[in-house]
């Protein structure tokens, strides 16, 4: 078996996000549809015969003990008593603090890769239990498919989504997820829906919203500014914030003139990042591992 592996870690967007309640422990009950997209970080792994985890790249301001990539590797190593280590090179492409799940995707990709490289043979269910210790979104990326998500993010049901393209805008500012969920203005009693309700209404229109969006717009005016930019640029498109922000996205109509849109993206405000992406059917990390 090879001692090197290179995997892509995809971003996700929330096609909607409803807050349906709050548990006694303070965690919020959610419903959402998570859509994988082809905006990816790249992780390269090399096994080493030393008992250590080495990380290169990523955000240099994050200490190793708080870095999800390192924490995921250490968690798996501790869980299995694996005696050796790994060297990880992270090429960070997904913006940090953007509501696109980049950190969670990286953590899941570490678990997938090291389960393979270290020849551990842990089932996906066991990896997901470990992933939940790292963050609520990590089990989704281990699940590997687009999903109708409930609970605090741990209840996942595979969903078949149409082939779509999206324009994602990251307005250069992050929104504190904790502050959003603690806001008194947050709607916490959205009536639950079923997966069939979502599919019957083509997913991103009509009654489906992101309950976190109004709060995030109050906390970070750049979110509202980005939504307004999308409204002016793509007036006929469905527009929404992803996760707790600050990224926003538009579902591209089939009639879109891509060249004109790309020209407009050249004039985004300073500090903003725009990306045209396609929806994915499944996590590319699993395809790579299965083909090894």
Active-site position among 12, 41, 67, 211: 12
Other Cβ atoms less than 10 A from the Cβ of 285: the count is 26
Give yes or no: 236 in active site: no
Residue 291 CA to residue 288 CA, distance in Å, equals: 5
Give yes or no: 137 in active site: yes
Residue 44 CA to residue 27 CA, distance in Å, equals: 34
- Strand-strand pairing, 28-48 and 155-158: unpaired
Kindly report the backbone phi and psi dihedral angles of residue 288, in degrees, each rounded to the nearest multiple of 5, phi listed first.
-65, -45
Active-site position among 41, 67, 106, 137: 137
Residue 28 CA to residue 178 CA, distance in Å, equals: 11
Residue 49 CA to residue 223 CA, distance in Å, equals: 46
Max CA-CA distance within the chain?
56
The catalytic site residues sit at 12, 137
């Amino acid at each position: 078996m090879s001692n090197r592996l290179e995997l892509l870690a995809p971003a996700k967007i929330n096609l909607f996000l409803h807050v349906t309640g709050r548990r006694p422990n303070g965690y919020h009950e959610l419903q959402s549809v998570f859509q994988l997209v082809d905006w990816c970080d790249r992780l390269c792994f090399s096994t080493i015969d030393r008992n250590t985890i080495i990380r290169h790249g990523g955000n240099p301001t994050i200490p190793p003990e708080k870095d999800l990539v390192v924490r995921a590797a250490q968690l798996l190593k501790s869980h299995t008593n694996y005696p050796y280590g790994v060297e990880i090179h992270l090429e960070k492409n997904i913006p940090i603090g953007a509501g696109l799940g980049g950190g969670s995707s990286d953590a899941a990709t570490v678990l997938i890769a090291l389960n393979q490289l270290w020849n551990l043979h842990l089932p996906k269910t066991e990896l997901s239990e470990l992933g939940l210790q790292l963050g609520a979104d990590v089990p989704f990326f281990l699940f590997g498919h687009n999903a109708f998500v409930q609970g605090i993010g741990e209840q996942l049901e595979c969903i078949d989504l149409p082939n779509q393209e999206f324009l994602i805008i990251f307005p250069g500012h992050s929104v504190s997820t904790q502050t959003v969920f603690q806001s008194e203005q947050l709607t916490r009693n959205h009536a639950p829906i079923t997966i069939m309700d979502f599919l019957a209404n083509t997913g991103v229109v009509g009654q489906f919203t992101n309950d976190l969006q109004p709060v995030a717009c109050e906390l970070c005016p750049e979110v509202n500014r980005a939504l307004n930019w999308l409204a002016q640029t793509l007036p006929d498109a469905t527009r929404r914030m992803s996760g707790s922000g600050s990224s926003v996205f538009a579902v591209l109509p089939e009639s879109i003139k891509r060249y004109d849109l790309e020209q407009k993206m050249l004039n985004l405000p300073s500090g903003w990042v725009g990306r045209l992406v396609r929806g994915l059917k499944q996590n590319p990390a699993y395809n790579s591992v299965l083909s090894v």
